[in-house]
Structure 1
Amino acid sequence: MGLVLTAIYLVGMITSAGVGRFRAGISQGGRMSILTIVRSMPWFLNQMASMLLWPAFLGTWLARGRPKTPWQAITTGDGTIMIRRKTR
C-alpha cells in the first residue's frame, strides 16, 4: 500500500512539473538552462513548491475555479527564455 501511495505521489510531482512548464509556455522537450532558472527565480521557486505540495496546490487551483496562470515565457534578445509574471 505504501508503494502505491509513493508511486502516486511521484507521478503527481512529475505531472506538476510538466503542467507548470506547459502553462508558462515552455516546451516539454529538453532541459532548461541554468540561465533560464536563475533569471526566472520566482517562477522556479513556485514550481518547486507546487511539485512538493502538489495535492494542496491542485485543491486550491480547483477551488478557485481553475484560473489561468500568471506566468509567461519570454524570449530575450540573446535567445534565452525567461519566465515572468504577465503584465496586464
Structure 2
Amino acid sequence: MDRQKIQSQPLGHHGWPVCDGSSSMECVLPLIYFVGLFIGMIFVRARAGLGQGRIKVIGDGGVGLEWFVGSLLTLMFWPVSLVVWLARGRPEPPIVFNDKARERRRRAAGM
C-alpha cells in the first residue's frame, strides 16, 4: 500500500480503518476470525463437558488454571488448532469435566 492511500483511509471511532467497500477482504477476514473465535469457545467448552454457564477457574470446583490457559491459547490461535485437531483425527480433549469425566472413567473401567 502506498503512503497516500494509507493516509486517506477513513478512520472509525477508535482510530481503526473503516471498511469502506474498496476491498471486501479487509472486512471479511476479521469477521471470519471473530466468528470462529465465538464458535470455538462454544465447542471447546462443550467438548470439555462444561456447558455455556459461568466457569470457576480457581478454587473448589474450579476448572484449573491449566485448562483455562490452554483453552485460551487454543481459541486465540483457532485456525492452527483446527487444522491440528483435524489432522490428528479429532481426538478427545485431554481434560474433561462433569458427565464427560464420569463417562470416560466408566469406559476405562469397562475395558
Instruction: Bin the TM-score by the shorter chain.
Output: 0.7 to 0.9
After TM superposition, the structure 1 = structure 2 runs for residues 73-84 of structure 1, keeping only pairs within 5 Å, are 73-74=97-98
Deviation per residue, 1:29-75 (Å, 9 max, x gap): x322xxx2124111100111011100000000011111111111149
The corresponding residue for 1:31 is: 54
Among 79, 93, 100, the alignment partner of 1:69 is 93
Deviation per residue, 1:10-32 (Å, 9 max, x gap): 0111111111100110112x322
TM-score normalised by length of structure 1: 0.74
Identity %: 36
Q: Give 2:67's aligned amino acid.
A: W
Matched residue SS, 2:50: coil
- Inter-partner Cα distance in structure 2 for 1:2 and 1:18: 26
TM-score normalised by length of structure 2: 0.60
Corresponding position: 1:20 with 2:44: yes
The structure showing larger relative contact order (alpha-carbon pairs under 8 Å, at least 6 residues apart) is 1
Q: Which runs of 5+ in 2 are unaligned?
A: 1-24
